[in-house]
Structure 1
Amino acid sequence: MIVRNFLSWAQTAPAAQRAEGAGALARAYLYSDLDAHARRETEIALMSLLDDPSPLVRKALADNFASAADAPHAIVSALASDQSDIASPVLSRSPLLTEAELIDCAAIGDAFAQSAIALRAYVPAGVCAALAEVGAREAAISLAVNPGADLPEFSMRRMVERFGDDGEMREALLSRPWLPATVRNDLVNATAASLTAFVVDCGWLTGERAKRLTREARDKANVIIVAEAAERDGRQGVRDLVAHLRASNQLTATLVLRALLSGNRDLFEAALAELSGLREERVAGLVRDFRGAGFAALYARAGLLEKYLPAFRAALEAQREYADVNGGEAKLSLVMIERVLTACEEINGGELDKLMALLRRFEMEAALEEARIEAARFAAEAEAARIIATAQAPEIVAPAAFNDSFSSAPAFEIAIDMASIEAELMPEAA
């Protein structure tokens, strides 16, 4: 009788009062000790409220049933398919919605509803895949930042493919605690493509120069990614990344040589195994005897340029001699590059000119990196000395006077000094 009176009253009551009554009826269903008959009548009344023309009424039902495990499933399903501001509480919290229902709601929902699904405490892999495929940008970002999302690797790569030009999307994926090396590579490529398009459109660089700088920056990043993959996932992680690089046409002789000159032998061996089809153990044995005919045969089977074989042998020799020169860091080694340059100069009859130019660019990059490190160390030492001197005898130290005397120096003298430094650090490419 009470439920019937409620329905009769709801036909003429204002929307705000109907919404308040709907919330009270929902709470009575969830928390009151109703007998079976009264519970059934209450459920019928709640179902009838789904047709209420005011969204306030349906919003009251959604707010009360959103987290309830014993709410009527049919009502929850209907609310999940309502307009997004009503559906969102249910989509984001309801434990009753199945994976299939969430996928269906993601397919028909707008960005607001999709984001609500993406931010659930736990998002199954199937729902993640659906959102990665059809979700709006906002939903993809919400999914990427959600640690409770069981986000498969292929879904991450699909998100990069769809929204890789969006900086917020890339940052969201990078914030995840575990990111496969292949996805990191895709993010590097997406970032490089966005930056290249930007600088070319602004007229800051020509298209060809921008492409070369992008390619070199991408190779540098890939060497770092390979080193991290080897440390985290072992040889299998490196092999998976190398297969991805080959499939995306990024596995080049330039990248492999850069890796060797950065002290990273894992990428070189994995690349030879991928290109030759031989087992990794067999490849590793042939690489250890890099002066022998077996290594030359492996090199040829991998399809690498025969004329560059001496450079790779010299790089392997230098790596053996300077194994720990970088202290484990994935960066070009200046001493190893100089060793390879010397070896190539001795045999170059003109056919290695392009390789020599590449090695000169490597040499410039490594020299600049070492200069930056040394400059930072000198600055840190000078600052530490100034702090100690100030503490011991404050009246002796006068940094302001020093700065004034430096700033009064003729500009052309400073320019000459800088030009001489750059000339030593950046030799011209052959």
Structure 2
Amino acid sequence: MTIRQFLLWTQHDSAGRRAEAASALARAYLYGGLDPEARWEAKTAVTALLDDASPLVRRALAEAFANAAGAPRPVVVALAQDVPEIAALVLARSPVLSDADLVDCAAIGEEPARLAVAGRPSLSPMVCGALAEIAGPAALRALAANPGAAITLGSLMRMVERHGGDGALREALLARPDLPLDVRQAVTAELARSLSAFVVGCGWLSAERGERVAREARERTTLGLAEGAAQEERRRLVAYLRRHGQLTAGLILRAMLSRQMAFTETAFADLSGLPGERVAALLHDGRGQGFPALYRRAGLPAALEPAFAAAMSAWREEADGLAAEAGPALSRRMIERAATACAGLPFAESHAIVALLNRFEAEAARDEARLVARTLADEAAVAAVLESIPAALIESYRQDRIRIAA
């Protein structure tokens, strides 16, 4: 069949027959081995079919050209700007479209078009950045779940800023294996905010208590993220916390009382502007002479200085092996030392500090209780298994072990 015969077929009254002709003409252009003149005629014909009033015809062209690297670029670009169900076919797969085409279609298209772009096998930072700025939650979820998307730190942060309240988006972001620590913290903060709003909205907690619970949960998660992180990641995390007003004296005190000295040093270095090595030397100075100057330079509340100094002194003793305790949880011994240091302060200055330390102590006690309960449960389970074994079998096993040892 010649190209001119295909053209006659495309003039049929039935939209279905015209769509069949469009599909056949597109395949002939791509795979028919046409000579230059016939190829030009075929290209002209499929371009003219873009004006067909029936979406069936244009959809047939989109399906034929979606995966083809040899598809005529003007036709593919036009199809990418068609109605959403047609545009999505080429936006999702066409290798002909450039980054500029994709950004333009995402900017002027509807959400289904952005969703199609977000799911492409490979996406450049430029396209990801455009989607981060304009796409809705559904497209951003697809983008976050796309392992071939090269999303920059700035774009990830923008996604959280715009739609961090969407739970499915948070889940998709947290599932990314390469998610930077500061972005993970931003997602955590959004989760804490959403949970606080939920419990307050349900009337389960007052607004003030909901905010406190959310803040303390966020702080615990922050220190969990920071634990074991690389130095550069930890610096970025601390810088993010400071920019967003989350690098509070309470968080730094919690880090110190949890023995997370790497985070504590990074926080003091960021607040004081001193090099990390200098900060570490001042914090770990056994005489404690440099700590007051470091504390004041960091701009932390003067009322909390005795608590910090006492906690640091207790930590130095633990580090020297005088009263070592294992684990990353809050140290009750350090909390007690800090509370004792604040006992002589005027009530107006100490009541908020003591209340904070009391909450820390309650949290530490609960953590210890959970650990003990799990240990007792494990021991009980082992004992139950042993009791279920016949005594004769145990004795036989013991005698076999004696013979082997002999």
Corresponding position of 1:409: none
1:333 Cα deviation from its structure 2 partner:
2.3
| Structure 2 gap segments, 5+ residues each | 392-406
The worse-fitting range, judged by mean Cα deviation, of 192-201 and 5-14 is 5-14
Q: Which runs of structure 2 are paired with 1:57-206 in the superposition (5 Å)?
A: 57-206=57-206
Q: Which runs of structure 2 are paired with 1:255-404 in the superposition (5 Å)?
A: 255-289=251-285, 291-323=287-319, 325-327=325-327, 329=328, 331-345=329-343, 347-350=344-347, 351-392=349-390
Write the letter of the residue equivalent to 2:14: P
Q: Report Cα offsets for 1:239-289 as digits up to 9, x if no partner.
A: 211111111111111100000111111222122221122222221221121
Write the letter of the residue equivalent to 1:224: G
Corresponding position of 1:7: 7
1:308 Cα deviation from its structure 2 partner:
2.2
Work out the CA distance in 1 between the residues paired with 2:71 and 2:345.
80
Work out the CA distance in 2 between the residues paired with 1:158 and 1:326.
39
1:316 Cα deviation from its structure 2 partner:
1.7
Work out the CA distance in 1 between the residues paired with 2:26 and 2:389.
71
CA contact (8 A) 2:125 2:150 kept: yes
Q: Does 1:48 align with 2:38?
A: no
Corresponding position of 2:402: none
Work out the CA distance in 1 between the residues paired with 2:326 and 2:84.
55
CA contact (8 A) 2:9 2:17 kept: no
Q: Which runs of structure 2 are paired with 1:13-52 in the superposition (5 Å)?
A: 13-52=13-52
The worse-fitting range, judged by mean Cα deviation, of 93-102 and 381-390 is 381-390
CA contact (8 A) 1:245 1:251 kept: yes
What TM-score, normalized by structure 2, do the two folds share? Answer: 0.90
Q: Do the aligned partners of residues 105 and 67 (structure 1) sit closer, same or farther apart at CA in structure 2, a change above 3 Å counting?
A: same
Corresponding position of 2:398: none
Q: Report Cα offsets for 1:108-155 as digits up to 9, x if no partner.
A: 122211111001111111111111111121101100111111111111
Work out the CA distance in 2 between the residues paired with 1:113 and 1:240.
34
Corresponding position of 2:215: 215
Aligned residue pairs: how many? Answer: 386
Q: Report Cα offsets for 1:33-63 as digits up to 9, x if no partner.
A: 1111111011111111111111111111111
CA contact (8 A) 1:326 1:333 kept: no
The worse-fitting range, judged by mean Cα deviation, of 43-52 and 277-286 is 277-286
What TM-score, normalized by structure 1, do the two folds share? Answer: 0.85
Write the letter of the residue equivalent to 1:185: Q
The share of aligned pairs that are identical, in percent, is: 51
Work out the CA distance in 1 between the residues paired with 2:169 and 2:286.
44
1:390 Cα deviation from its structure 2 partner:
3.1
1:4 Cα deviation from its structure 2 partner:
2.0
Q: Do the aligned partners of residues 46 and 333 (structure 1) sit closer, same or farther apart at CA in structure 2, a change above 3 Å counting?
A: same
Q: Do the aligned partners of residues 290 and 127 (structure 1) sit closer, same or farther apart at CA in structure 2, a change above 3 Å counting?
A: farther
Work out the CA distance in 1 between the residues paired with 2:309 and 2:77.
66
1:342 Cα deviation from its structure 2 partner:
3.8
CA contact (8 A) 1:128 1:149 kept: yes
The worse-fitting range, judged by mean Cα deviation, of 31-40 and 350-359 is 350-359
Work out the CA distance in 2 between the residues paired with 1:52 and 1:336.
78
Work out the CA distance in 1 between the residues paired with 2:201 and 2:101.
45
Write the letter of the residue equivalent to 2:291: F
CA contact (8 A) 1:19 1:57 kept: yes
Work out the CA distance in 2 between the residues paired with 1:50 and 1:235.
56
CA contact (8 A) 2:12 2:18 kept: no
CA contact (8 A) 1:110 1:136 kept: no
Work out the CA distance in 2 between the residues paired with 1:62 and 1:240.
45
Work out the CA distance in 2 between the residues paired with 1:40 and 1:391.
86
Write the letter of the residue equivalent to 1:368: R
Corresponding position of 2:243: 247
Work out the CA distance in 2 between the residues paired with 1:108 and 1:91.
13
